């Protein structure tokens, strides 16, 4: 159900005035959305709940900066995306290069995107690919992780990172160009 921005502003004003129940209302209303977004990024329900909780805490601490130009839901979701991505960058997630299921799916997707042949890949080459992904500039690494490791659409990435769709596409294209130039094609067997 869409929220009215003026209702959000009124709730935030009530919270800033000392009404703790108003914040509880926002948390109850938006927690499923925030946890869901974190779960799509982290792919671990416990980590997602922790990231969502941290996002709500940070939102509460920064409530005075909420301008009310958009919905509280969108604002707290952006905070949650940053929390989840921070957990990924800090290695506090269960998905890793050692998670064969996610790694294989991501490698196949990345392989097709960088015009590489699909099929069995040499383990060393896989490791080299992931090492190169880890070396991408943060903005490129973020969109690659969200797009392929987390299976978000370009539109979802644009919304969650608060950058235009064209910028997301540009970052992906630059990332693929760098991967192509650094790795060339996959080794043949």
Tens digit of pLDDT for each residue in 132-162? 877 888 788 878 877 776 667 898 888 877 8
Percent of the chain beyond pLDDT 70?
Answer: 71
CA distance 32 to 167: 28
71: left (phi over 0), alpha (psi -120 to 50) or beta: beta
What pLDDT was estimated at residue 110?
46
Query: What is the token pair recorded at 79?
Result: 């905070």
- 47 Cβ partners below 8 Å, 6+ apart? 38, 84, 87, 92, 93, 94
Query: What is the token pair recorded at 48?
Result: 């997602």
Confidence of residue 4 (pLDDT cuts 50, 70, 90): low
CA distance 136 to 183: 13
Q: Which domains does the chain have, with CATH numbers?
A: 5-89 (1.10.1740.10), 100-183 (1.10.10.10)
Mean pLDDT of the chain: 76
80-101: per-residue pLDDT in tens? 888 887 887 665 433 333 344 4
What pLDDT was estimated at residue 105?
45
Count CA within 13 A, CB hemisphere, residue 52: 23
Residue 16 has pLDDT above 90, yes or no: yes
Distances (CA, A) of 31 to 40, 54, 77, 110, 169: 14, 12, 10, 32, 29
Q: What is the pTM of this model?
A: 0.57
**First CA to last CA distance, the chain:** 54
Measured from the Cβ of residue 20, the count of other Cβ atoms closer than 10 Å reads 10
Confidence of residue 104 (pLDDT cuts 50, 70, 90): very low
Query: What is the token pair recorded at 143?
Result: 């969109």
Residue 60 has pLDDT above 60, yes or no: yes
Higher pLDDT, 126 or 95: 126
107-131: average pLDDT: 52
CA distance 70 to 9: 9
């Amino acid at each position: 159900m869409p929220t009215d921005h003026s209702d959000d502003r009124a709730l935030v004003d009530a919270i800033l005035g000392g009404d703790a129940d108003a914040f509880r209302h926002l948390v109850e209303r938006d927690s499923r959305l925030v946890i869901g977004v974190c779960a799509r990024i982290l792919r671990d329900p416990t980590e997602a709940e922790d990231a969502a909780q941290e996002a709500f805490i940070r939102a509460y601490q920064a409530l005075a900066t909420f301008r009310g130009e958009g919905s509280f839901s969108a604002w707290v979701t952006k905070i949650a995306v940053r929390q989840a991505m921070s957990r990924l960058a800090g290695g506090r997630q269960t998905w890793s290069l050692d998670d064969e299921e996610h790694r294989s799916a991501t490698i196949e997707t990345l392989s097709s995107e960088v015009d590489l042949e699909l099929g069995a890949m040499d383990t060393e080459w896989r490791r080299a690919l992931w090492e190169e992904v880890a070396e991408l500039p943060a903005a490129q690494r973020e969109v690659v992780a969200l797009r392929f490791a987390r299976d978000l659409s370009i539109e979802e990435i644009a919304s969650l990172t608060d950058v235009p769709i064209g910028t997301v596409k540009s970052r992906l294209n630059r990332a693929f160009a760098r991967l192509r130039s650094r790795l060339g094609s996959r080794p043949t067997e």
